[in-house]
């Protein structure tokens, strides 16, 4: 099914929330998307990243159209459970990472709209430390 967007910010944030949930947490743990979903501790971090992104998007006035956003992330993630996010693949290949533009974007925009994002800050710091 092809989705058309009148609001480019909506499209960007709907994709970003999925990436925020799995990119940094996968890179920091080495886990696939399915393994993150299956592990309560890893899922707690991934979910925290997504929830912060949702709060920042809301404070920034972004309207999302995905129903329950956390269930949306779980459902889409479950369809690609064996996948490694591109950030993990880049890390494994020794390439430069996009952590500042994915997880790092949430606390940066959060500061602009008055929403703290400590989980994303921590994930960003851990990935940078790797």
Q: Give percent helix, percent strand, percent coil of the chain, each to the nearest 5.
A: 70, 0, 30
Count the Cβ atoms, other than its own, within 10 Å of residue 58. Answer: 15
Rounded Cα distance, 51 and 123, in Å: 14
Active site residue 15: yes
Please provide the DSSP assignment of 23-53 as one string.
HHHHHHH---HHHHHH-HHHHHHHHHHHHHH
Q: How many CB atoms lie within 10 A of CB 31?
A: 21
CA torsion, ordered 114, 63, 18, 115, to nearest 10 deg: 10
| Active-site residue, from 15, 79, 84, 128 | 15
Which residues are catalytically annotated? Answer: 15
């Amino acid at each position: 099914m092809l989705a058309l967007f009148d609001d480019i910010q909506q499209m960007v944030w709907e994709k970003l929330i999925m990436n925020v949930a799995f990119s940094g947490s996968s890179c920091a743990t080495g886990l696939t998307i399915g393994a993150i979903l299956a592990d309560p501790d890893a899922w707690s971090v991934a979910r925290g990243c997504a929830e912060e992104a949702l709060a920042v998007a809301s404070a920034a006035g972004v309207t999302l159209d995905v129903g329950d956003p956390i269930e949306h992330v779980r459902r889409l993630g479950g369809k690609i459970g064996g996948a490694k996010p591109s950030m993990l693949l880049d890390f494994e290949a020794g390439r430069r990472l996009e952590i500042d533009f994915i997880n790092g974007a949430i606390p940066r925009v959060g500061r602009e709209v008055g929403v703290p994002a400590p989980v994303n800050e921590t994930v960003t710091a851990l990935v940078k430390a790797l």
